[in-house]
Amino acid sequence: MADKSVVITYEVHTLKRGEWTVHSRHAEQSFDEAIRAAKGLERTTTIDGVKVVRDAYDSTTGKSKTTTEYGAARARRPGTHR
């Protein structure tokens, strides 16, 4: 039986100019959608990296546990800026 006090979401994060930001959030049952979104963003030349992070938030304790489920980074040449 699933613990109803724990809410699972998947966040797609993008890396641009050395800073990670949340691009989108997906419900627990939408893991495949989050992966597709991340893979689509990999082709964007202005993004240096992308990852999908699983967030398990426990409303009873108020704590979250995050794990990276997928990640890809583009190698940059020294001296280049995006």
C-beta of residue 19 within 8 angstroms of C-beta of residue 71: no
Q: pTM score > 0.85 for this model?
A: no
Contact 48, 54 (CB under 8 A): no
Give the chain's mean pLDDT: 89
CB atoms within 10 A of CB 52: 22
Other Cβ atoms within 10 Å of 14 Cβ, number: 20
pLDDT tens for 19-55 read 999 999 999 999 999 999 999 998 888 999 999 999 9
**pLDDT value at residue 72:** 84
22/25 Cα distance (integer angstroms): 8
